[in-house]
Amino acid sequence: MERWSGRIVMVTGACSSLGETLCKELALAGLTVVGLARRRHQVRDLALELESQNCPGKLIPLKGDVTKEEDIMTCFDWVNKNFGGVDVLINNAGVTVKAPLSEAASEDWRRIFDVNVIALSSCTREALKSMKNRGVDDGHIIHINSIAGHRLSILQGNEMYSASKHAVTILAEGLRRELASRKSQIKVTSISPGFVQTEIFEAGGWDDLTKIAPHLQAKDIADAVKYVLSTPANVQVTELIIQPVGGF
């Protein structure tokens, strides 16, 4: 992780439980983290807590809605001007809604793809621009994907989410091939967890799944992110599937 000292990591969806854990663990590892979230105050509170603990890294809260193109542009411009630019992007923002294919509203489907696919792609594009403009060719793009991006979700009504995560799987590999064709050293990683104890499914309309199935903790995913960031320059973890023992 030492090679990332002084470099800038951006985490989207930073006010979610997984986003907060990613920000916290990376800052504790000594990195400078920009936490992008709609609810900036939550990230600010975490930043103040870390500062009071003499955290070796730093967390910078930044307000923005990744479904709004103008917010994305403004946030990346701000980071470029104030910190030089983004060296690592962690696309963590994600959403799901219980949306049966036979009766769901189109607005629900559209929101799933707006956050999980379009926003992810827009942030990735801007991060790559930031790297290119500074001659950075050792950056890292990390997509927080899902096991549902490799097979149909076991949850009824979660098919559109699964479709969006399958898209993320294709986008990650497509970007990796695109960068490889340009002889770029920028890495692309898709991290696909099984059930994680976060609020995403409960907020989407399902009961608390942690009561009926084994699950991972948010820190497990943060540890996976630190692992892929710590690999040697010649090693690229393209896909990492993580499941709880005895779980789905």
Q: What pLDDT is recorded for position 3?
A: 87
Q: What pLDDT is recorded for position 202?
A: 66
Is the CATH number of domain 2-242 3.40.50.720?
Answer: yes
CA angle 43, 46, 76 (to 5 degrees): 35
Task: Tell me the catalytic residues.
Answer: 161
**Residue 30 to residue 58: CA distance in whole angstroms:** 7
Q: What pLDDT is recorded for position 47?
A: 96
Residues whose CB is less than 8 angstroms from the CB of residue 119 and which lie 6 or more positions away in sequence, other chains included: 12, 66, 67, 72, 91, 93
**Residue 197 to residue 17: CA distance in whole angstroms:** 9
Q: What pLDDT is recorded for position 171?
A: 99
Q: What is the pLDDT along the chain (248 residues), one digit of tens a residue?
A: 888 988 999 999 999 899 999 999 999 999 999 999 998 888 999 999 999 999 999 999 999 999 999 999 999 999 999 999 999 999 999 998 888 899 999 999 999 999 999 999 999 999 999 999 999 999 999 999 999 999 988 888 889 999 999 999 999 999 999 999 999 999 999 999 998 876 666 665 656 565 667 889 999 999 999 999 999 999 999 999 999 998 76
**Residue 220 to residue 241: CA distance in whole angstroms:** 12
**Residue 35 to residue 45: CA distance in whole angstroms:** 12
Q: What is the DSSP letter of 39?
A: -
Q: What pLDDT is recorded for position 156?
A: 84
Domain ranges of the chain: 2-242
Question: What count of residues does the chain have?
Answer: 248
